[in-house]
Amino acid sequence: MNIFSGLEKIVETNYPLAKDTWYGLGGPADYFIKPGTVEQLKTIAQRCNENNIPIYVLGFGSNLLINDDGLRAAVIKLEAEKFSQTQFDGEQLTAWAGAKLSGLVLTCVKKGLSGIEALTGIPGSIGGAVRMNAGGNFGDIGAAIETVTLMDSQGDVFEKSKPELMFDYRSTNITAQFIINATLKLASTDPEQIMRTVKEIWIYKKNSQPLNTRNCGCVFKNPRGVSAGALIDRAGLKGLRIGGAVVSEKHANFIIAEDGCKSRDVIRLIDAIKERVKEQFGIELELEIEIWD
């Protein structure tokens, strides 16, 4: 019997994942599934669970590296209309997992709602942003989140809210397989003031990051009290190349994928950076990106 019998319209096999990541790297997934409803997602979770099929949830693939051999797994993408919706109720925003972060920042500016402008220039979906507590020098999404609706691998839906819901630097205590949506508490502010902040953040990023390249954002988390990029720079690693992967000359915490690059080139370069930084400074760099293998 077909594992996904009755769901054929939303299931693709041997799907090339590279085209769904910012790096444009990686092999195929055995199954690529785009559920249209929460019920379909529940059925998929249960079928995968029953058949011991590993599950990966893909957002916009902006901080993700997939290995060259691909995945013997089901990759689920929540991009259907149901999973991309947003609802405003005064100063409260409910955003579903597939909603685009960049579009939401601009919508909030227009509505005069402050609270997520710190996420300007961060590509990705709400689900991915919540999962890793996305942010930067100007703040993170966790500060605005009130509640998150989740689904576990058995298909059970439940809600977590603060203070049970905790956010730390690029991490949360969310362990559930799926993030369905999040409710954020915003504050009414002058739209022009918010737009000035957005422009300042965008200019800062444009001047300091290699935006027009194939990259996946900051590769490493900043160790406490120090910048990972500064450590890599001080170790003399800007411009270091392995195969088609190269450390950015503009921002040392970015690895650029050039023509002919393979995932293994990026992984080898990551290992070389970690080794050199540990050697010189005694600091073990921790990954901010996800590697699926």
What CATH number should be reported for the domain whose range is 8-77?
3.30.43.10
Q: What is the pLDDT of residues 215-224, one digit of tens each?
A: 999 999 999 9
Strand partners, 125: 100
d(CA 156, CA 150): 8
> Structure pTM?
0.94
Q: What is the pLDDT of residues 207-253, one digit of tens each?
A: 999 988 999 999 999 999 999 999 999 999 999 999 999 999 999 99
The alpha carbon dihedral of 186, 150, 76, 34 has a sign of negative
Reply yes or no on whether the pLDDT at 192 is more than 60: yes
Reply yes or no on whether the pLDDT at 191 is more than 60: yes
In the structure, what pLDDT confidence band is assigned to residue 137 with cuts at 50, 70 and 90?
Answer: confident
Q: Which residue has the tokens 């990051």?
A: 209
Percent of the chain predicted with pLDDT > 90: 96
What CATH number should be reported for the domain whose range is 209-292?
3.90.78.10
Average pLDDT on 100-120 reads 95
Q: What is the pLDDT of residues 267-290, one digit of tens each?
A: 999 999 999 999 999 999 999 999
Provide the Cα torsion 215, 183, 161, 148; round to 10°: -50
> What was the pLDDT predicted at 211?
86
Average pLDDT on 135-146 reads 93
Q: What is the pLDDT of residues 147-187, one digit of tens each?
A: 999 999 899 999 999 999 999 999 999 999 999 999 999 99
> What was the pLDDT predicted at 138?
87
Reply yes or no on whether the pLDDT at 13 is more than 70: yes
Contact criterion met (CB below 8 Å) for 178 and 137: no
> What was the pLDDT predicted at 219?
98
Q: Which helix (H) or strand (E) holds 270?
A: helix 263-281
CATH topology of domain 84-194: 3.30.465
Where do the structural domains in the chain lie, given as residue ranges? Answer: 8-77, 84-194, 209-292
> What was the pLDDT predicted at 2?
86
> What was the pLDDT predicted at 189?
95
> What was the pLDDT predicted at 1?
52
Contact criterion met (CB below 8 Å) for 266 and 23: yes
Q: What is the pLDDT of residues 17-71, one digit of tens each?
A: 999 999 999 999 999 999 999 999 999 999 999 999 999 999 999 999 999 999 9
Average pLDDT on 201-212 reads 92
Q: What is the pLDDT of residues 72-98, one digit of tens each?
A: 999 999 999 999 999 999 999 999 999
Reply yes or no on whether the pLDDT at 266 is more than 70: yes
Reply yes or no on whether the pLDDT at 144 is more than 70: yes
Residue 157 burial class via C-beta count within 10 angstroms: exposed 0-12, middle 13-18, buried 19 and up: middle
